[in-house]
Amino acid sequence: MRIATWNVNSVTARLPRLLAWLESSGTDVLCIQEIKAAEEAFPYAELRELGYEAAVNADGRWNGVAVLSRVGLEQVVTGLPGGPEYDGVQEPRAVSATCGGVRVWSVYVPNGREVGHAHYAYKLHWLEALRDAVSADADDDRPFAVLGDFNVAPTDEDVHDRSAFDGLTHVTPAERAALAALRDTGLTDIVPRPLKYDRPFTYWDYRQLCFPKNRGMRIDLVYGNAAFARAHKDAYVDREERKGKGASDHAPVVVDLDV
């Protein structure tokens, strides 16, 4: 089974590339983030033509997540149980489903904006709620993984230049501690192998030639339980999908399982 995660940065803007990538990549289950479209505007029909069902959590603003599957879609849970609100709203940042016997969560962790901002505190609370919500699935005998844009680089090796992030979010001890607490539920960081460069970055800013210069970050992560880690055979970043006109600023992370 091939499972992937991809922050598409607008499913509407990226739809032709999304459909082409699904056809060419052989992906069975895809978790997507940053849909930026209302649920009623989601391209269900186009995906159905390729054989994919979709579980969607979106409200038309800058967030939104989905699970796309051509191997079944069961036990769907929309939203993060017990998750915090921001400005009085529980944002659409999580959706989970069982696909072909594998349980997956698609998550889009809050950005945090800047250290000390209310959104930064919200980010830490959100990660704490995620840890509590997935703990039962993490301890399950069936393969299970949390996939998505975590907006945290787990280590200094996961950014192109640690000094460039001094005083900024994505690398703070508190954010990394929240990720460590999530892993402590029984999850393993499934690190993709680098194909062209030494480090498997997944995100490159559109500005300042960050992609050609490989000034990136690894913030799109796959955290799998013991059964998922045992079934894992390969993982890679599809860096080619970040190239060309109309690309997202994130690349898909692909994991192959033997289940």
Q: Would residue 108 show up in a list of annotated catalytic residues for this protein?
A: yes
Give me the half-sphere count of Cα atoms (radius 13 Å) on the Cβ side of residue 220: 32
Task: Show the CA angle centred on residue 73, arms to residues 6 and 192, nearest 5°.
Answer: 30
Out of 160, 170, 232, 250, the active site residue is: 250
Contacts of 60 (CB under 8 A, 6+ apart): 36, 37, 38, 39, 41
Token reading at 222: 């796959």
Annotated binding site for Mg(2+): 7, 34, 149, 151, 249-250
Out of 149, 158, 220, 238, the active site residue is: 149
Rg over alpha carbons for the chain, rounded to the nearest Å, is: 17
Annotated binding site: 7, 34, 149, 151, 249-250
Q: Which among 38, 32, 29, 28 has a CA at the least distance from the CA of 17? A: 32
Out of 28, 52, 108, 223, the active site residue is: 108
Q: Would residue 206 show up in a list of annotated catalytic residues for this protein?
A: no
Token reading at 100: 């072909």
Beta-bridge mates of residue 104: 97, 145
102 residue type, one letter: V
Longest dimension (CA), the chain: 47
Q: Would residue 86 show up in a list of annotated catalytic residues for this protein?
A: no
Q: Which residues are catalytic?
A: 108, 149, 250
